[in-house]
Structure 1
Amino acid sequence: MTSLLSTYSASASTNASSSDKSKAASAPATVIPAIEPTSKKATKMTTPSSFSLKLSSKLKALALKALPQFLGLAFLVLIWTIIAEKNTSLPSPWVTLQEAIKLFSDPFYQNGPNDQGIGWNIYASLKRVAVGFGLAAIVGIPLGFMIGRFSFMAGMFNPIISLLKPVSPLAWLPIGLLVFKAAHPAAIWSIFICSIWPMVINTAIGVQRVPQDYMNVARVLNLSEWKILTRILFPSVLPYMLTGVRLAIGTAWLVIVAAEMLTGGVGIGFWVWDEWNNLNVPHIIIAIVVIGLVGLILEQILVAVARAFTYEETGA
């Protein structure tokens, strides 16, 4: 009986020890909740550092992109300063900057028909450009489609384009004055006749470069000419057409400045010539910078439009 009790107690102690060992073996599972807050803290501590690294890399890339442009402008100002020191008739960058601040403090003043702020002069030039450029687009783009689509039209208009395209913009101004008997429509005529050629040529080239397979499918499906134009030609030609429009707007802005110098009235070109007559050289330099900035803005707007409507094929 005593041996049985001792055996039972020994087995009980063995089971107890084994159960304690099993509990001890499963003990690490109870440690997980205590470790989890530490891992969260570690994640929270590492997140700002990764964000700061990304931000610093973006700032570095932006700085590397802007540095050449800044150095180019600084080099231009340096050359300007050296020339201004050698030639006292040319104002320095600092003097020109002071005059620009005074000029743009009230850009829309009006003291008479020939004494208006630079804002009104820019506005008048942009209006002339808009009218002449718009008329050129209305005429030039459909004409380009017809020249590219029909060989008869191409043979008819190609000699005319080859003959008139190289003519200087200012050579058209006396014709406009003779026909319209006024300076304002003559300036618009000069813009029209000089900005139409890039749109005609680029649109015609785009139509001619449409894949022949597209036209064969249209012929098999017996599509009408209107559907061929709207479903096939226009989407394919759009990048070429927008390139022509971008080139034309640059030509139009160049022509209006030269035309206004000769015709007079309100406009940025006339304003430059009037300031030259007054020997106000700082204002002439300011006008040159303004003309360049406006032309750059117009071109960048059209470049953005061209990118939005240009589709490039990507390989798999």
Structure 2
Amino acid sequence: MVSAVFHSPIEAMPPAQKSAPLAAPKPAQEPAPVVAKPAPRAPRDSSGLWLRVLPPVLGIALLILVWELVAIRSTTGFPTPLATWQQAVQVFSDPFYSKGPNDQGVGWNVLSSLRRVALGFGLAALVGIPAGFAIGRFEFLSRMFNPLISLLRPVSPLAWLPIGLLIFKGANPAAIWTIFICSIWPMIINTAVGVQRVPSDYMNVARVLNLSEWKIFTKILFPAVLPYMLTGVRLAVGTAWLVIVAAEMLTGGVGIGFWVWDEWNNLNVANIIIAIFVIGIVGLVLEFALVKVATAFTFEEVKS
């Protein structure tokens, strides 16, 4: 019989490989972490800064240049920008002096005008905004008051002043009345337009859910009408600040309008120019404050 002889794999290996120890397999090396290189900084675009700064500076420079040319060619003693600046430094060195009811600093005059504007404008808001909601909400009231608003809105503010003097028997309440009657129209009209532009689907849903009138106002109308309402408030504040200057010129007392008229009687043209700048700056501050309020409480489209 032929017997089969089996050899193990180790015995079949060459002698060199038999003596060599078995090497453990090398572990796989982890790839080196890839460190992201910082992106190169984009060069700062200074064109936007120049577009924001340069045009206003050029506009102010053009105004001063025209002012200087008018002052040079004037034969009536029109003050130059430098003379007006020197007078402004003197005026604002003590803006809150008081030497009697008709001789007070520009600070007291501005505060008195702002107080009248606040009273007249506040009363107009208390009446005009609810009236705008009612006129926009109910068609009967809209048809009833639209002719009256169209008739009274174009009337000049100074035409209302004698009515106020006749009714209230005083210059201060007459000025507040004039501010009230001229400030109320923008708030009524813009609020009513905002209510009328509420999508009909919203009102249909409210009708299906059988919501009360108070729920309709608080949950649907007020959030949707708020941008229109604040636009009317901004227009009303601008109108009120314009009206108070003209009203105080005629009624007298303490106020920026009276200060302008009193300086004209004294032939102090430099102070009149200072008052013009003060009126413009205060109006700009009021407008800026209301824009900030609008951007804080309204939707994105109002922020533009």
Matching residue within 68, 72, 80 for 2:59: 72
Q: How far 1:300 moved relative to its partner?
A: 1.4
CA distance in 1, matches of 2:300, 2:292: 15
Q: List gaps (5 residues or longer) in structure 1.
A: 1-6, 16-21
Q: Does 1:170 align with 2:158?
A: yes
Cα distance in 2 between the residues matched to 1:171 and 1:182: 16
* In 2, Cα distance between equivalents of 1:250 and 1:312: 23
Which residue is equivalent to 1:201? 189
Matched, 1:109 2:97: yes
- The one-letter code matched in structure 2 to 1:66 is V
Among 88, 105, 112, the alignment partner of 1:100 is: 88
240-249 or 84-93, larger mean C-alpha shift: 84-93
Which consecutive unaligned segments of at least 5 residues does structure 2 have? 1-14
Q: Match of 2:84, as an amino acid?
A: T
* Cα distance in 2, alignment partners of residues 129 and 208 from structure 1: 29
The reply to whether residue 240 of structure 1 matches residue 223 of structure 2 is no
* CA distance in structure 2 between the aligned counterparts of 1:83 and 1:312, rounded to whole angstroms: 45
SS of equivalent to 1:109: coil
Q: Which SS does the other structure have where 1:112 is aligned?
A: coil
Q: Name the structure 1 match of 2:73.
A: 86
TM-score (norm 1): 0.83
Aligned-pair distance for 1:63?
2.8
- 1:309, CA displacement in angstroms? 2.3
Paired position in structure 2 for 1:63: 50
**Offset at 1:234?**
0.4
Q: Secondary structure at the match of 1:210?
A: coil
Paired AA for residue 80 in structure 1: W
Matching residue within 100, 104, 117 for 1:129 = 117
1:60 positional shift: 4.7
Read off the aligned partner of 1:299 and give its amino acid letter. Answer: E
Match of 2:132, as an amino acid? Answer: G
**How far does residue 310 in structure 1 lie from its aligned partner after superposition?**
2.4
In structure 2, how many angstroms separate the alpha carbons of the residues matched to 1:162 and 1:200?
Answer: 12
Alignment of 1:18-37 (within 5 A): none
Query: Which of 193, 204, 208 is equivalent to 1:220?
Result: 208
Distance (Å, rounded) in 1 between the aligned partners of 2:214 and 2:53: 48
- Separation in 2, partners of 1:203, 1:64: 36
Q: Displacement of 1:141 after TM fit? A: 0.4
Partner of 2:135: 147
AA partner of residue 171 (structure 2) = A
2:289 is the counterpart of 1:289: no
Distance 1:66 1:255 in 2: 32
Pair 1:187 & 2:171 matched = no
Q: Does 1:301 align with 2:289?
A: yes
* Residue in structure 2 matched with residue 160 of structure 1 by the alignment: 148
Aligned residue in 1 for 2:298: 310
Q: Which has the higher helix share?
A: 1
Q: Deviations over 1:254-281 (max 9, x none)?
A: 0000000000000000000000011111
Letter in 2 for 1:232: I
Whole-Å separation in 1 of the counterparts to 2:259 and 2:58: 31
Structure 1, 114-123 or 150-159: larger mean CA deviation: 150-159
* RMSD, aligned α-carbons: 2.8
Q: What number of residue pairs does the alignment pair up? A: 285
C-alpha deviation, 1:213, in angstroms: 0.3
Deviation at 1:308, TM superposition (A): 2.1
Q: Please list the CA deviations of residues 284-304 of structure 1 after superposition, one character each: whole Å capped at 9, or x if unmatched.
A: 000000001101111111122
Q: Partners of 1:211 and 1:312 in 2: how far apart? A: 18
Report the counterpart of residue 264 of structure 1 in structure 2: 252
Moved over 6 A (4+): none
Question: 1:168-191: CA deviations, max 9, x gaps?
Answer: 000000000000000000000000
